[in-house]
Structure 1
Amino acid sequence: MSGMALIWAANVKGLKPAAKIVLIQLADFHNKETGQCNPSAKRLADECEMGRATLFRHMTTLEECGLVTRHARGDGDGGRGSNQYELHLDITLGPSSRPKGGASGPNGVVSQNETGGNVSKKRGKSPSRETGVVPKRDSNLTIEPVKEPPSRKREAAGDEEAEKILATYPPDRLRGKAACIAQIEEAMKEEIAPEDLRLAVQAYATDTAGFTRSKVCFSDNWFQSRRWLAYVEKQAEDREKSAALQADHHARLACWVSERSPMCKHITAPQVTALLASKLVSQAQIQAAGLRT
């Protein structure tokens, strides 16, 4: 957490309340030593108490205002990892050094002084005269994050993923391929897993299989209106329910093991391995119950 980043975010004026919340939460994740700010989309949405779609809408606003820049990152295996966020902080001098009425910082965002100021959506060059804003940000506070330039291999992999996702859409309702691909790539920038997006498209194709064609949305409109989001969220809910059921089942098996119940004879070797991995039981308890790993 960076105290200076939080102070900066709190003093930014001209944002709607929800966008301000996103900015403050981002600042709370800012590391003053590395300058990096990289919470996952899920974590950030949870902290802001809003849906991912709402979160990314406000994130776009912050980018347009010149306050934040998103950098896509890989996961090390050729896939897409969580985004890295760069906060454009303006460190101001003391009150006596500031000109009255505020001044524009090096990235076009109005510096926040005692009188307050509004966020400018135009980022331009700073004036050559002295403005009372430090021209270079404190290197201890905002070391530039290491950016991973997209390689041709990674770009090709992204294009291939987008093509696979689009190929799942009802073929007789495909329209505007370039627009669809652009929307798919934008969704993947938002940390939507390609497989989740493909399954969302596949689920829509299955749901509408018996519909007359006039009832099935054209692909460009479907992706533009982000109708895939409801399916992706449903997948996440189903996974959470499945994980909860599995945890409950493992707890029941662990109870059998700890009590050396006769029911232990129904526990399979893979389940024993899972119980040990979850640390619900010990190796000694497994052996005492007459089970083998």
Structure 2
Amino acid sequence: MSGIALIWAANVKSLKPAAKIVLIQLADFHNKETGQCNPSAQRLADECEMGRATLFRHMTTLEEYGLVTRHARGDGEGGRGSNQYELHLDITLGPSARPKGSGGGLNRVESQIETGGNVSKMRGKSLKGETGVVSNRDRNLTIEPKKEPPSRKREAEVDEETEKILGAYPPDRLRGKAACLAQIEAAMKEGIEPEDLRQAVQAYANDSAGFTRSKVCFSDNWFQSRRWQSYVERQAKDREKAASLQADHHTRLACWISDHHPMCKHITPTQVTALLASKLVSQAQIHAAGLRT
């Protein structure tokens, strides 16, 4: 933990509360000796009590404001390891924060790590946005947002889906919300449809209604052990069975039409449309049987 990094993060203003939480948690992982900040995405999401998609959205915001830079790392075996985060504790001086008599423009940077106040260095280019610096907790750092991250809408939709799925779980058994949301997001990344997963959770809630305390499962354990999988598989089998029954029914209707059976009069326009779409009958056969779409 680095006290300097925490002080810096605490003094950043004009961020949304959730983004501020991410910044402070990152600063808490900062190592003042090595300058490294290496929490895994899951560990950081758990500490912030939010889903991974939400975490990545706020991390993008911090990067766009020039506060944080992410560096991808390998795991030493050809795979991908956890990211390394660089906190920009050196902030470009804005016009209102530049001390009197200081020459130079926005490329002159005062380091918050230095305590003497006279140490400065040059940076090749300024960080994104116009910002100020703070040398202690009594001065404010103001950051004016310029634009929202481009993927904000898509990630917000993912967050809404995960919240809806978790909301179907019996409320008296909810525990470890961040862990649950992470497991739900992982399931959706595997290709599980959000609505299928929500229906699986709802089916479990219905099946377990009225169970005693010893027979129920808390949400974090339920999602961790993938208890939803049996419900999703059962739903898939039910759909296959329904599709098979419908196909048999359409085949029978097509036979009626081909044979000009008296029961043709009971075939509805909706069924006629479905038969034409499935190519079980032709338009000529429909007319010959005296039916209309």
TM-score where L is the length of structure 1? 0.50
Q: When you count strand as a share of all residues, which structure comes out higher?
A: 2
Bigger-Rg structure (1/2): 2
TM-score where L is the length of structure 2? 0.50
